[in-house]
Structures are given as structure tokens and as C-alpha cells.
Structure 1
Amino acid sequence: MSDMVVARAPSLRMLLSRFRQHLRDTFWLAPALAMVGVFLIWLAAEELDSLIVEELKQGGELDMLVELQRFTDDAKGVVSTVSSAMMTFIGVVFSISLVAVQMASGQLTPRVVRLFVRSRITKATFAVFLATFVLTLLVLSSYDSAPDPSALVSVPLVQSVLTLLMVALSLLLFVLYVNATLRLMRVGHVVARIADEARRAMAHLPETTDRAAADAVPRSGVLVHEGRAGVLQGVDTARLVALARKHGTVLRVIPQIGDFLVPGTPLLAVPDGSTASPGSMRHLVSVGAERIVNSMDLGFGLRQLSDIALRALSPAVNDPTTAVQALDRTVQLLAVFSRMPLGAAVHRDRSSEVRLLQPLPTWTTLVDLGFAEVRVCCAGNPQVSRRVLAGLDDLLRVTPPDRHPPLRRHRELLSQNVGNAAQTDADREFALRPDRQGIG
């Protein structure tokens, strides 16, 4: 294995994944493309208007040309009004977005800002609004006020109709945008969307196994991270699998997706004698500023739900019903995780040979992530403690016996916490009565 060298160029799959992630997290691209697109459409519409005028002139239909000029003159007032009002309209919509983001991040968690940034309806609304504004400016420059119809070069008929259609589309998108924004401010919709994203990401999860299989791979040599510091968002598994297959070995990624890496962090277990340099790994990993929805990052959805519950239980917010709604989805995700092996993801080559292992959170880690912090904070809140107990009991019924210990441990710890916080035995008994709705 002494000639083993890690490839220095990222694979096409990795590049496309990074580019797709960048597009989802950017807000400027859709408006920019919309403005370029509407300019090209305007050029085609202007050419079509010129052809219409030329055909009417050649056919001697000057009366029809006069009627078209009257229609466009009437439409000019509407276009002028739209042009002057559209920027104000855009400012109002932008203000609504900022207020919605501020309220959601303050009452729920800053992690939900990502939902607003990635909202397709929000991007489409801003794109159409800006495109409509640009189109009105272009159309206004096309109006010809020549008194003699035979001297007209162009009558912006198609352009005027196109502007009116864009205005109608803008109004429709504004209604949809307001509806989508109001939904993103509702706790139930946000936690449901977080859970759905986590479940959809899990659909792309490869074969999994327990952590013992991953630990069995010899860690003879270690390749460290020498790129910029940040959160590990992804690994070029296709290139690593091809590399391991070429040399007939099994590689193991050391950190989990979602771990924060600094230069020198152990990154990949490789055979002894490998000539791979740490710098050669920078193209095989994707490092960013924050965690993203990833099929290998099983805990990110639970982390967001736990953050929402903790924020709701803080004295500043004091909203136990929101915590109960977050716990509903926490139980849902843990019920899904309970049916799969956890600890490591297995990547095979075309011959079905295991070539790469990636660490995943264990069942105990996921249970702790879902309940540990909430359990501590809910000791004096019977609505939440009752929901936690009901969730633990439901998970005890659906999980195999070997996964019961962490659930039973949290149940016992919650009983101790509630007992220490309760003023009377009656309060303790009431707070420890399982209830899926918290308190009815």
C-alpha cells in the first residue's frame, strides 16, 4: 500500500453537490437570472412589435395602427404607475421577510432562518418583482409619440401586454408569498418541515451497521485535515470508494458529518506507508460555516427540534405547548431511527465489497440529543414532563429490547428531576402521568 495517493481533484459528483448546495443557500441568483431573462424577452417582444407595425404599414391598415397606438397610450399610464410603485412594493415585501425571520429566529431557533433563505416561493417572488420593475423601465423607453401613424417605427403592443401579465403574476405570487411566510411563522409547520427534511435525507442513507464494525477496521495510519476550519458537511465517498477498491483496502472516515474541524483534526484512517498528504484531502471533504441537511447527519433534525423546545421552555418565552410540538416530532424521528442499525454507514464498490465506513451517531447518542436537555429544563413544567414520559413509553413499545436502556435511563432521571422540583406528592404524581398531549 506504499503507493497509495489520495486524488487531488474533486469528483464531478462532489462538485455538483457543492454547487447545488451553494445555489440553495444563495438568494441573489434567482433575481439576477430573472432580470437577465426578462431583458432577453423584452428584446424579442420589441422585435415582434416592430414586425407588427411593418406589416400594418405594408398592408395600408393605418386605422388599425392608430387603434393600436391608442391602446398602448392607455397602457402607458398603467406601466408608468407600476414602474413607480414596484420598488416600494419590493421594499414592503423585503420588510415583511426581515420581520418574519427575526420573529421566527427569536421565538424558535436561529436555525430556522435557513428555511426562509431556501424558500422557493420567496426567491420566485423577489425574482418576478424585480423582473417586472426592469421590464416597465424597458417598455417605457419603447413608446413612440409620433403624430403621423405612417412615421411610427414601433408600437409596444406585445410589450405592454407582457407587462400587464407580469403585474398579474406579481400579484398572484405576492398572495402565495404571504401565505408561505405565515406558514413558516407557525410552529407546527416549522417542526413538521424539519422532521420531513430529516426523513427525506435518511432516504439517501446507504447501508448502515453498528459501531463495532467500524472500529474493527485497523487505524494504522491517520490523515489529518489541513484545510480551513469549519463544519464537515460532506465527504467525496465515490472517490474514496474508488481509491480503496484500487488498492484492495477499506478506508474509514474518522469524524462524523456535522463535526467542527480545525487544521490537524484526524480525518481518514489509511493503511501504513501511505504517501497521501494531508493537503490532498481538501478536495475530498466539504467544509462550511454551519451544518446542513445531510443523509449522514442524523442528529441535525433532532438538534433543531431540541433547540426549539429549549427556547420554548426558557423563562423569556415560557411556551410549553411549543415544546410539546417539538417533542412530537422528536419521538417521530427516534421511532424511525429505532428500526435501523446505527453507528456507521457502509459504502460498497460495484462488486459489493465494503470499501468505506463513515461514523454515524449511535442510538444512545440520538436519544440523549432528543431528550437530555429538554428533560433537565422541564422538571418544573408538568405539561412537558408528561409529554416526555409518553414519548419514552411509546418508544419503549416500538424499539427492540436491546435499545431500551437509554430510554429507561431518561425515564428514571426525569422522575428524579420532577421529584426534586415538585412541591407536593400530588404535584409529583400529576407531572409523572404520561400524556401524549402534555395536559389535554
Structure 2
Amino acid sequence: MKNYLNNAINYFIKLESKIAFYPTLMSLGGLFFAFIMYYFESLGISSYLVEHAPLLVVNDTDTARSLLTTFVAGLISIMVFSFSLVMILLNQASSNFSPRVLPGLISNRRHQVILGIYISSLLYSIFTLVAIEPNGNEYQLPGFSVLLAIVFMTVCLGAFIYFIHSISQAIQVNNIIDKIFSTAITRLEVLIDAEEEYKTDFPDTSNWHVLKSFKSGYFQDLSSNNLIDIAKANHCKIEVIPVKGTYILKGAPIVKYNVDLDEDFVKQIEASFLYSKSELIEDNYVLAFKQITEIALKAMSPGINDPGTAINAIDYLTDLFLLRMHKNDRGCYIEDSQPIIKVGTVTFSELLYSVMAALRTYCKHDIIIVAKLFNMLKYLLINNTKYSEHYKEAVLKEVENLYQDTLKNHSNSTDLNRIELMYNEFLTYNSNT
């Protein structure tokens, strides 16, 4: 039962990122509130307010109909315009930056809430309009409900103004990169805080039982609580083979375990793997490196030619790599100071190589970007003194790769001298440390 509950929670978290999630909930709320007002009107709330607070009641049938009809037509127009702006935002972000940033923009909660305000107010106004009787008088007219519709319409106008401001900010590349960066920082800090030092290495898994994938898809997330419960219940150790974000083919090995498990536990392990077609940084911080790198590469394409954006992206990558150096290259879940679950992770050297390989390929012709990459690697090397020696070797390897590529793509003597100077700084620092 607990496993099903964990799966339901994980499914809800994924559903929350959909663009229609909050609008749907708020629409149901608007509909429910309209029926609540039906009930209060049947109790005579409008007739009571006509006698004691007439300013809070719209007691003219024609005025009420005109207002509500105008509200319905105006809200539909606002919704069409707002949805059009969202589509324009997504299209521009996809063409100018990277298609991978779309899930993050779609899951923008502020835009979802604003769209939800529109739809819930629209439904409330429609049902309030239906409640007006053809020959109603001041006692039959839902005057207080009409006043509330005016209040909701005022809120919608304020939300529309905020929406215009928000959408104009969301389309700016600096804000897109900053959101990706902030989300990745939060995820990395959670992983770093959750790490515990242990002295015992994870056992050799070469002869363990192997569980193969029952379907194909992108390995988006893992229900770790389920696996921990299974490992504790069976007194076993589990290794998760694939890395988050990779595409798993049907029949590929995904899990190894060191004891015989019955069919029920095997099915629970399979249910712990969450497959998805979208990518969310909240689940996998590596996607932030990929997305920021792709934004930098797109900025350096001939069609856009925006080296300033590429420089900003490299600054954010530098900060992310520096924080990543605080994290171990191995991922484990600990129980009683012993690792019981080993999780496949992207090592620092692999991550640095994948980012630098792409930047070297598409930016090596620009001496300004090359200098920025040398500065990034220099900063990582200087701040590596208290971290793993493997991290230092990975940085020095990328320095050598960058140096070789840039020499082959520059012929100007000034540029070559600058490249040699930056490279010699690394050699000098390395020899002194």
C-alpha cells in the first residue's frame, strides 16, 4: 500500500508540471463557488442585503445581464489573447534558445494560475447569468452574485496586466537562464545535503541478479522510498544501473540485486522507475548543464550571432560546476551507516567533457569565448584544492583539449600569443601545486 501511495505522490508531482493542471483545478473551484452562491441566493442573501446594505447588490435585471454578458465576451477575448502570447513565447524560446527549455516554461506556475483565474471567473459569470430569471425583480435577481462577478472581473484585469509584465520578462534569455540555474542549484544542494560519508565501498555486482526493463522510454525519476523499503524488507542490496535522463530500451538491464526476490517485489521495483517524454530540472540537475550549454551554442550560431548570451551562459555554468565539485561522483542511499542502494550518476569528468566538447566544437573560432572558457577552467582549478584529485585531472584534461582545438582554428599572431599565455598560466599553476 505504501508503494502505491509513493507512486501516486510521484504521479501528482509530474502532473503538476502540466500547463492545464492549475487552470483545471481553479475552473472546478469557480464552478463550485457558483453553486454555493446558488444556495445562498436561495436563502435570500440578496434580499437581505437590499434592505441592509443596498450598495452591495445589483438589483436591476437589465444592468446585471449587460454586465455579465460583457464579462463573458471580454474574458473570452482576454483568454484567447493570453493563450496566444503563451504560444508565441514557447515558439520563440524553442527557435531562439533550445526546445529543451519548453517544459520549464510550460510549468510556470504563475502563468497557470492566471489562466485559471480567467477560466474560473468565466464559468462563474456564465452560471450567474443563467441564474437570472426572465421576469426577475429585486428579490429574484442574484444581485450579490452579480456584484461578486464584478469583483472577479476586476481581479482578472489586474491578473491580465501582471500577465503582460510576466510574459515580457519570461521571454528574456537572461531570465530563462537564471530560472534554469536557480532550479539546478536547489536540486544540487538537496543532493549534497543528503550525502553521507561511509567507509565501506559498495560490493561488486558482476554476479548479481539482473532485472531488465519492461518498456522503452526516458528514465525521468526514481521512487527511492520504494527501493529502500524493498531492500530493507528483503535484507538485500540494489544497484540502479541507468543514469537519470538516459533513454532505456526495452530489455536493457536496469537493476541488479544480490538475493532472490519474488515476483511481487520485482514488480514493485519496476514500478519505482518513472518514465517520461519531458525533462524537468527538478528531477535531474544534469539537464541544467545541457540546457544552458544549448542556449550558448544557439547564441553562437550564424543565424543569431549573440556572443554576449554565450558569455553569460558560461558564467552560470562556472557556478554550477563549482557547486557540482562539492558532490561525490557516486550516489548511494545509506541505512545504518551502510550503503544499500547504489544509483548510477554522471561523473564530474563526464559532465565537464560533454559541456566542453560542445562549446569547443561551436565556439573555438571566437577568441573572446575561448578566453572565457579558459577563465572558467582556471577558476575551477583554483577552487579545486579541497576537492577530489580526479576533478583536478578532469579540468586539466579539458584545458589541454581546448588549447589544441583553438590553436588549429586561429592564425592571427595576437590571438595565438594570448592563447599561449592563458595555457602557460595553467602549466605554471599546476607545477606550483
Alpha-carbon distance in 1 for matches of 2:244, 2:132: 58
- Asked if 2 retains the 8 angstrom alpha-carbon contact of 1:382 and 1:432, the reply is no
- Asked if 2 retains the 8 angstrom alpha-carbon contact of 1:30 and 1:127, the reply is yes
Taking structure 1 as the reference length, what is the TM-score of the superposition? 0.85
One of 401, 409, 416 as aligned partner of 2:397: 409
1:33 aligns with 2:25: yes
- Asked if 1 retains the 8 angstrom alpha-carbon contact of 2:220 and 2:279, the reply is yes
Cα 1:138–1:408 change in 2 (3 A) is same
SS in 2 for 1:305: helix
1:364 aligns with 2:366: no
One of 151, 160, 165 as aligned partner of 1:165: 151
Structure 2: where are the runs of 5+ without partners?
A: 423-433
Structure 1: where are the runs of 5+ without partners?
A: 1-7, 435-440
Larger relative contact order, structure 1 or 2 (CA cutoff 8 Å, min sep 6)? 1
- Asked if 2 retains the 8 angstrom alpha-carbon contact of 1:121 and 1:176, the reply is no
- Asked if 2 retains the 8 angstrom alpha-carbon contact of 1:220 and 1:272, the reply is no
- Asked if 1 retains the 8 angstrom alpha-carbon contact of 2:241 and 2:253, the reply is yes
Alpha-carbon distance in 2 for matches of 1:412, 1:385: 13
One of 319, 322, 327 as aligned partner of 2:309: 322
Corresponding residue for residue 425 of structure 2: none
Corresponding residue for residue 12 of structure 1: 5
- Asked if 1 retains the 8 angstrom alpha-carbon contact of 2:100 and 2:291, the reply is yes
Partner amino acid, structure 1, of 2:317: T
1:178 is displaced (CA, Å) by 1.8
Taking structure 2 as the reference length, what is the TM-score of the superposition? 0.86
1:399 aligns with 2:399: no
Corresponding residue for residue 39 of structure 2: 47
1:293 aligns with 2:278: no
SS in 1 for 2:254: strand
Alpha-carbon distance in 1 for matches of 2:54, 2:97: 61
Alpha-carbon distance in 1 for matches of 2:47, 2:285: 65
1:258 aligns with 2:245: yes
- Asked if 2 retains the 8 angstrom alpha-carbon contact of 1:125 and 1:174, the reply is yes
Cα 1:158–1:225 change in 2 (3 A) is farther
Corresponding residue for residue 431 of structure 2: none
One of 86, 90, 94 as aligned partner of 1:101: 90
Cα 1:289–1:432 change in 2 (3 A) is farther
- Asked if 2 retains the 8 angstrom alpha-carbon contact of 1:226 and 1:278, the reply is no
SS in 2 for 1:286: strand
Deviation sequence 1:365-421 (CA, Å, 0-9, x none): 121133221022111112211111111111111113712222122222222222211
Count of aligned pairs: 413
Task: After TM superposition, list the pairs within 5 Å mapping 1:38-437 onto structure 2.
Answer: 38-50=30-42, 51-55=44-48, 68-70=58-60, 73-144=62-133, 146=135, 153-205=139-191, 206-207=194-195, 213-214=201-202, 216-271=203-258, 273-275=260-262, 281-294=269-282, 297-342=284-329, 344-349=330-335, 351-400=336-385, 402=389, 403-430=391-418
Deviation sequence 1:230-258 (CA, Å, 0-9, x none): 11122232232233233333221111111
Cα 1:178–1:430 change in 2 (3 A) is farther
- Asked if 1 retains the 8 angstrom alpha-carbon contact of 2:183 and 2:281, the reply is yes
Alpha-carbon distance in 1 for matches of 2:190, 2:365: 40
Partner amino acid, structure 2, of 1:424: N
- Asked if 2 retains the 8 angstrom alpha-carbon contact of 1:302 and 1:370, the reply is yes
Deviation sequence 1:350-377 (CA, Å, 0-9, x none): x333211112111101211332210221
Partner amino acid, structure 2, of 1:154: Q
- Asked if 1 retains the 8 angstrom alpha-carbon contact of 2:239 and 2:256, the reply is yes
SS in 2 for 1:217: coil
- Asked if 2 retains the 8 angstrom alpha-carbon contact of 1:35 and 1:127, the reply is yes
Deviates more, 1:188-197 or 1:242-251: 242-251
SS in 2 for 1:254: strand
CA RMSD of aligned residues (A): 2.8
